[in-house]
Structure 1
Amino acid sequence: MVFIGFHASHEQIAPSALLDAVVAAERAGFDGAMCSDHLAPWSIRQSESGFALSWIAAALARTAFPIGMVNAPGQRYHPVMIAQAFATIEEMFPGRFWAAMGSGEALNEHVTGDAWPPKATRNDRLRESVDVIHRLMDGELVDHDGLVRVHQARVWSRPSQPPPLFATAVSAETARWAASWADGLVTVAQKPEALREVVSEYRAAGGVGPCALQVHLSWAPSDAQAVQIAREQWANGLLSPPVTWDLEQPEDFEREVGEVDDAEIRNAVLVEHDIASLAARIADLVDIGFDRVYLHHVGNVQSEFLRLAASDLIPALKEQL
């Protein structure tokens, strides 16, 4: 049975409301959740960006299902701080926490004032950071002098088992590279042929653990409403790497997106008003080779989507997956 999860978007919803939403998602029948980790939203209209490490501890305390988060150590977050944070979360909520490690975006990382490295350097920095985190989780006294620097660090409060560290990957190249160190893979919906390549390259390179897919969708009672929600809240989805890696401000994303027509937004988001059709489209993507799917309704109000997920969408998906 495929794991059906809920995605909590910090960029769009205030932390307190997002906490209520994840509690409601568990009641609706989702198997678990994941959240983003941003310092800034993608656009001015989204207008939020709570601190994911604070929020996820509260979310785990108010629920019983597993919750993971995206994280980019190496610039805004020092890997020693992340190792301590992850160890504390996992010690309090054993077996329920995971993190998907990525190389980050300038949108969140530029605030340190450090130069924004090219992608290859960011990947090397991520690998160093993950190695440092693993060593600290194992109880080592760590010194490291490379793209990240660590001086005689130790994490004292540790869980009996460290949490799994997945990799985030959009391209097949990154998925293949991540297979050497990741405990699983998280990617985002794109054209089916691209998704097949991502999964295939990860598995062919020896990648272990679950492959998880995040799906951006917009549901409303009418097609026109669903399109409007997607246009207002997730037009940033029209942009892709390397553009999304290098822009620094929400205003930059809005300027880069420009005017958006209906056909373009439908390419970035699954826009649907019919639940049976939505379930079928999600199932088609999952069938490419994913063990988990996390659904992100891009509206900044989640209550109606969660009600419908409980009554119609989740049952429909379970019949097809």
Structure 2
Amino acid sequence: MTRYGFHASHEQVSPRDLLRDVQHAEAAGFEMAMCSDHFSPWSVRQGHSGYTWAWLGAALATTNLTMGCVSAPGQRYHPAVAAQKIATLSQMFEGRFWVALGSGEASNEHITGDGWPRKELRDQRLDECVDVIRRLLAGEEVSHDGLVTVDRAKLWDLPEQPPRLIAPVVSVESAARVAAWADGLITIVQPEETLTRVVDAYRGAGGRGQLSLQVHLSWAESEREAEAIAVDQWRSNVIGPPVAWDTETAEAFDAIGQQVGVDAVRDAVQVSADLGEHRDRLRRLASLGFDDIYLHHVGQEQSAFIDTFGAELLPQLTTQPATPGGAEPAAAPPASATRL
């Protein structure tokens, strides 16, 4: 049966408040959590971007949830340093931490002052980083010369079992490419046909492990309020590649977001004041074969969402198996419209 988790958005909530939110989510019945790993938010209106790795230590120590994050090694994070962080959390909280390794976005990586590589080089750099990280987690001393350089790195504190290194993907092409190294796949809500193709590409290329899905949604007591929250907080995110990959500042994302209308936001975010509609859409998505679904309420205030979904929606979702051919699929973005 599909499990449901809480997405902690560091771009939208301060780390202090987000720690309270994830503790609240556990108490309300969410089974796991994941978070973003940003240096900069997507919008000045979002206005936050705490350091994920410090927060993860506190969150894992003060809950019993399994947690993970989406992170990009290779520029902002040297792969050996990334491996050390991953190993430390995994040893302290054995079996409860995973990481999804992506190729990154300029909004976070430009801070190093290094040039922003073109996409094929970023993908190649990611492959090198994954190999370095996996070898370090296996206890090897690693040296490497390529798009990243490593000189005799060795980790001295390791977990008994290496954590899962999963792949965050959106496109069918990426799903097939990462299958060679990933211990699982996480993607975002897209049209049902596209999601099926992503899963099939990953499995067809030999991809192993669990399938996870992140759902952006907006719920409030009224439809008007739910829509207003989504437009305010998420319109700067409704931008496809290569613009989303290459834009460097929150101010630039806001300027682009001025051209984004309500319909585009509704295509990218599951907006509804109707809990039954959210329930039916989530059941349909679960029926596509996802093991884990992470719910991201795109508002900055999380308490009402956590309480309401915990009390009224999660019990229905976790006690009634998803049935193919049931409710209509979620209103979903095109493959380029939103990101993990």
Same fold (TM over 0.5): yes
What does residue range 257-276 of structure 1 map to in structure 2 within 5 Å? 257-276=257-276
State the partner residue of 2:91: 91
Q: Secondary structure at the match of 2:216?
A: strand
State the partner residue of 1:243: 243
Q: Secondary structure at the match of 2:310?
A: helix
**Aligned-residue offset at 1:262:** 2.4
Identical-pair percentage: 52
**Aligned-residue offset at 1:316:** 2.3
**Aligned-residue offset at 1:260:** 3.5
**Aligned-residue offset at 1:83:** 0.7
CA-to-partner distance for each residue in 1:16-50, whole Å, 9 max, x for gaps? 10000000111111110000000000000000000
Runs (4+) of structure 1 moved beyond 4 Å? none
State the partner residue of 2:332: none
Tell me, in whole angstroms, the C-alpha distance in 2 between the residues paired with 1:236 and 1:249. Answer: 11
Tell me, in whole angstroms, the C-alpha distance in 1 between the residues paired with 2:64 and 2:85. Answer: 20
1:139 maps onto 2:126 in alignment: no
Tell me, in whole angstroms, the C-alpha distance in 1 between the residues paired with 2:264 and 2:139. Answer: 50
Contact 2:175 2:202 in 1 (8 A): yes
Deviating more after overlay: 229-238 vs 209-218: 229-238
What does residue range 61-210 of structure 1 map to in structure 2 within 5 Å? 61-210=61-210
Deviating more after overlay: 261-270 vs 58-67: 261-270
State the partner residue of 1:303: 303
| Unaligned segments of structure 2, at least 5 residues | 323-340
Q: Secondary structure at the match of 1:229?
A: helix
**Aligned-residue offset at 1:282:** 1.7
Q: Secondary structure at the match of 2:58?
A: helix
Tell me, in whole angstroms, the C-alpha distance in 1 between the residues paired with 2:52 and 2:190. Answer: 25
Tell me, in whole angstroms, the C-alpha distance in 2 between the residues paired with 1:291 and 1:245. Answer: 28
CA-to-partner distance for each residue in 1:80-117, whole Å, 9 max, x for gaps? 00111111101100000000110000000011111111
Tell me, in whole angstroms, the C-alpha distance in 2 between the residues paired with 1:27 and 1:228. Answer: 28
State the partner residue of 1:283: 283
What does residue range 212-223 of structure 1 map to in structure 2 within 5 Å? 212-223=212-223
Deviating more after overlay: 113-122 vs 251-260: 251-260
Deviating more after overlay: 176-185 vs 229-238: 229-238
State the partner residue of 1:41: 41
Contact 1:79 1:129 in 2 (8 A): yes
Deviating more after overlay: 130-139 vs 235-244: 235-244
Tell me, in whole angstroms, the C-alpha distance in 2 between the residues paired with 1:320 and 1:300. Answer: 31
State the partner residue of 2:328: none
Contact 2:80 2:133 in 1 (8 A): yes
State the partner residue of 1:25: 25
CA-to-partner distance for each residue in 1:134-191, whole Å, 9 max, x for gaps? 1111111111000100001111011111110000101010010010000000111122
Tell me, in whole angstroms, the C-alpha distance in 1 between the residues paired with 2:24 and 2:72. Answer: 28
Tell me, in whole angstroms, the C-alpha distance in 2 between the residues paired with 1:106 and 1:264. Answer: 23
Deviating more after overlay: 308-317 vs 121-130: 308-317
**Aligned-residue offset at 1:257:** 2.1
TM-score (norm 2): 0.93
State the partner residue of 2:256: 256
CA change 1:271–1:320 in 2 (3 A) is: farther
State the partner residue of 1:293: 293
Contact 1:196 1:289 in 2 (8 A): no
Tell me, in whole angstroms, the C-alpha distance in 2 between the residues paired with 1:82 and 1:259. Answer: 37
Tell me, in whole angstroms, the C-alpha distance in 2 between the residues paired with 1:198 and 1:245. Answer: 20
Amino acid at match of 1:48: H
Contact 1:220 1:272 in 2 (8 A): yes
Tell me, in whole angstroms, the C-alpha distance in 2 between the residues paired with 1:149 and 1:258. Answer: 41
Contact 1:80 1:150 in 2 (8 A): yes
Tell me, in whole angstroms, the C-alpha distance in 1 between the residues paired with 2:230 and 2:12. Answer: 12
State the partner residue of 2:4: 4
Contact 1:43 1:251 in 2 (8 A): yes
Tell me, in whole angstroms, the C-alpha distance in 1 between the residues paired with 2:90 and 2:164. Answer: 10
**Aligned-residue offset at 1:320:** 4.5
Tell me, in whole angstroms, the C-alpha distance in 1 between the residues paired with 2:217 and 2:125. Answer: 32
Tell me, in whole angstroms, the C-alpha distance in 2 between the residues paired with 1:97 and 1:288. Answer: 25
Q: CA RMSD in A?
A: 0.9
Tell me, in whole angstroms, the C-alpha distance in 1 between the residues paired with 2:41 and 2:261. Answer: 22
Contact 2:42 2:237 in 1 (8 A): no
Q: Size of the alignment, in residue pairs?
A: 321
**Aligned-residue offset at 1:261:** 2.9
| Unaligned segments of structure 1, at least 5 residues | none
**Aligned-residue offset at 1:256:** 1.5
Tell me, in whole angstroms, the C-alpha distance in 1 between the residues paired with 2:85 and 2:60. Answer: 14
TM-score (norm 1): 0.98
Tell me, in whole angstroms, the C-alpha distance in 1 between the residues paired with 2:111 and 2:321. Answer: 45
State the partner residue of 2:335: none
Tell me, in whole angstroms, the C-alpha distance in 2 between the residues paired with 1:252 and 1:203. Answer: 37
